Amino acid sequence: MKLTTWNINGIRAREQALLRWIAVAQPDVLCLQEIKADLTQIPESLQNLATHTALWNGSAKKGYSGTALLVSNTLIQTHGDAVFSIPSFDAESRTVQAVIGKTVVIGVYVPRGEKDAAHYKWKLDFFTALETHTASLIAAGHDVVLCGDMNVAHKDLDVHPSQQNPEACGQRPPEREAIDRVMATGFQDVYRNLHAGEEGCFSWWPYWRNARERNLGWRLDYIYATPRLAASATAAVIDSSEASSDHSPVSTQFVI
Amino acid sequence: MKLTTWNINGIRAREQALLRWIAVAQPDVLCLQEIKADLTQIPESLQNLATHTALWNGSAKKGYSGTALLVSNTLIQTHGDAVFSIPSFDAESRTVQAVIGKTVVIGVYVPRGEKDAAHYKWKLDFFTALETHTASLIAAGHDVVLCGDMNVAHKDLDVHPSQQNPEACGQRPPEREAIDRVMATGFQDVYRNLHAGEEGCFSWWPYWRNARERNLGWRLDYIYATPRLAASATAAVIDSSEASSDHSPVSTQFVI
DNA sequence: CGTCCTAAG
DNA sequence: CTTAAGACG
């Protein structure tokens, strides 16, 4: 099962790039964040994909946030009619979930938390709710994939040395500890498992000052998996050649 | 003296088209409307033209309205230091004026008047103020050119037959009569003098429904001149090949 | 910087 | 349709 998470920063602006990328990469599961569109605004071409069935969690606030989870029709046929959605646990369309075979896939778009103190606290609360949710799924015996834009660089290694700053939102100890607690419910960082200690692995770059060309990035997009799944991962890649959004797609291949 | 009036719909979006057009057309006087920029936002290339000196009446409301009058440096040198500006008679940067030799050139951007009844009344008041202003200049013996985006199609001939509608703002009898009264202070319509009865002469087309390609336009941009000047006009053209704005430049050549 | 919103034309 | 401002990231 090839799974990808990608913050596409506007599904309307990304229509062509996204169609092309899906055709080439052929992911079995594709979690999208920041679609910035409601159900009436999503391009028809993406609503009517021949290859995939989509769960849309469209933007509740116009042009803001929004997530989706696309599952290849092959996989659905193989595993039966096992796709369903749950309401997001906030009013900003930040989560989407599907059950595929015996695996639960959760896609999240964690709030940035930089607006003010309340927003930052809400970001930490988001992780706490996530922790509760994944703990209960894992306790029930599910294999779980939790992926998406965490809006936190989990370790110093996940930020370019020139951009490291423990005061910066996205690098603060409390956020990193919140991720620790989510992972402690039973997850491994699939990309880091396969690229242990490797420097310069980023999935987001600011649009300004040629940050992408200079690789002054952060790793904000993660695929966490429960141990059996994580052990089955044969590859994990960040496709930094796909530079249409400020985030690049992060993919892995599970053998299940 | 070659004079042009052009509603450019955003001087920042028009920077390259405008530079190119000035280089090719070499107008002696260029009246611009809807520059949609204040003095700090006007592109440097246009502030530092080698060929022309500009009077900017920058947008008072951010990104809204704004006019300018550019005079070729040759003309200034020929006629001495005769360029000056007057404050606009409203708070929306809609007028600009220069004295060039013995001729007064006035550039105006008349309000559209479509928002509500008060706005429409204000449009009519604008013409009344204009009438007072031009009457006094003409009484003082000046040659006067009044040009710009009048936001009124003066005659039925100035609107494509399929778009004619006496209820439509820009075609209503009171607006047309307001133009009549301004012209009665002593002006002739230079373009119409040289294209009497000619159909399909428009200077504005809606951006939508391929109106420009189908010539479903209106003539909204006029050059009015006092009789001696008007009689000297050897040509008047609408350069509809310049299609970067929704208005095309309207030019005439006076022999003075 | 880029995407989307809204106001205005 | 197009421009530009403003919110947000």
How many Å does it take to go from CA B201 to C1' D6? 39
For residue B179, CA distances in Å to A42, B126, B129, B196 come to 48, 11, 12, 18
In strand C, which positions have an atom below 7 A from any protein CB?
1-6, 8-9
> Distance (Å, rounded) from C-alpha B154 to C-alpha B212?
20
Distance measured from the CA of protein residue A114 to the C1' of nucleotide D7, in angstroms: 14
Q: What is the value of pTM for the model shown?
A: 0.86
Among A96-100, B26-30, B174-178, B224-228, whose mean pLDDT is lowest?
A96-100
**pLDDT, average across residues A161-177:** 97
Q: How far apart (Å, rounded) are the C-alpha atoms in residues A24 and B86?
A: 63
Pairing of strands B67-72, B52-57: antiparallel
Structure confidence by residue, pLDDT tens digits, A109-135: 999 999 889 899 999 999 999 999 999
* Integer Cα distance of A3 and A70 in angstroms: 10
Q: How confident is the model at residue B102 (pLDDT cuts 50, 70, 90)?
A: confident
> Among all strands, which nt has the closest C1' to A7 (CA)?
D9
Q: What is the pLDDT of residue B115?
A: 87
- What does DSSP assign to residue A103? E
Residue pointed to by tokens 């799974």? A3
DSSP string, chain B: -EEEEEE-S-TTTTHHHHHHHHHHH--SEEEEE-----TTTS-HHHHT-SSEEEEEE--SSTTS--EEEEEEHHHHHHH-S-------SSTT--EEEEEETTEEEEEEE-----S-HHHHHHHHHHHHHHHHHHHHHHHTT-EEEEEEE-SS--SGGGB-GGG--TTSTTT-HHHHHHHHHHHHTT-EEHHHHHTTT-SS--SB--SSTTTTTTT--B--EEEEE-HHHHHH--EEEE-TT--SSSB--EEEE---
Q: Phi, psi at residue A12, to the nearest 5°?
A: -75, -45
Distance, CA of A152 to CA of A216 (rounded, Å): 15
The nucleotides of chain D lying under 7 Å from a protein CB are: 1-6, 8-9
Which 7-66 positions of B have CB less than 7 A from strand C? 34, 64
Residues recorded for chain B = 256
- How large is the average pLDDT for residues A24-37? 97
Q: Is the Cβ–Cβ distance between A203 and A243 less than 8 Å?
A: no
pLDDT band at B83 (very low <50, low <70, confident <90, very high): low
% of residues, chain B, pLDDT over 70: 96
For nucleotide D9, the protein residue with its alpha carbon nearest to C1' is: A112
Enumerate residues 6+ apart whose C-beta is below 8 A from B51.
B22, B26, B72, B73
Indicate if CB(A17) is under 7 A from strand C.
no
Tell me the CA–C1' distance in angstroms for A10 and D4.
Answer: 20
Average pLDDT of every residue of chain A: 94
C1'-nearest nucleotide to the CA of A113: D9
**Beta strands A143-149; A95-100: pairing state:** unpaired
- Please give the pLDDT value at position A91: 81
Average confidence (pLDDT) over B7-22: 97
Lowest mean pLDDT among A82-96, B20-34, B92-106: A82-96
| pLDDT of amino acid B86 | 67
- Spell out the domains of chain B, with CATH numbers in brackets: 2-253 (3.60.10.10)
Q: Give percent above pLDDT 70 in chain A.
A: 95
Query: Is residue B81's pLDDT more than 80?
Result: no
For the segment B86-110, the average pLDDT, to the nearest whole number, is 86
Contact B237, B250 (CB under 8 A): yes
For residues A83 and A91, is the Cβ–Cβ distance under 8 A? no
Residue A174 has pLDDT above 90, yes or no: yes
Residue A81 has pLDDT above 60, yes or no: no
A226 Cα distance to chain centroid? 16
Q: β-strand B143-149 against B103-109: which pairing, if any?
A: parallel
Spanning CA of B228 to C1' of C6, the rounded length in angstroms is 48
What's residue A87's pLDDT? 61
Rounded to an integer, what distance in angstroms lies between the CA atom of residue A198 and that of residue A139? 32
- A219 or A60, greater pLDDT: A219
Q: Is the C-beta atom of B208 closer than 7 angstroms to strand D?
A: yes
Residue B7 CB in 7 A reach of strand D: no
Query: Which neighbouring-strand residues pair with B235?
Result: B253
pLDDT at residue B87, rounded to an integer: 62
Distance (Å) from CA B234 to C1' C6? 46
What is the number of other CB atoms lying within 10 angstroms of the CB of residue A213? 9
Q: Is the pLDDT at A65 greater than 90, yes or no?
A: yes
Q: Give the model's confidence band at A136: pLDDT under 50 very low, under 70 low, under 90 confident, else very high.
A: very high
Q: pLDDT at position B11, please?
A: 97
CA of B135 to C1' of C8 (A): 32
How many alpha carbons lie under 13 Å from residue B63 in its C-beta half-sphere? 1
Treating both helix axes as pointing N-terminal to C-terminal, what angle do B173-184 and B117-139 enclose, rounded to 10 degrees?
A: 10
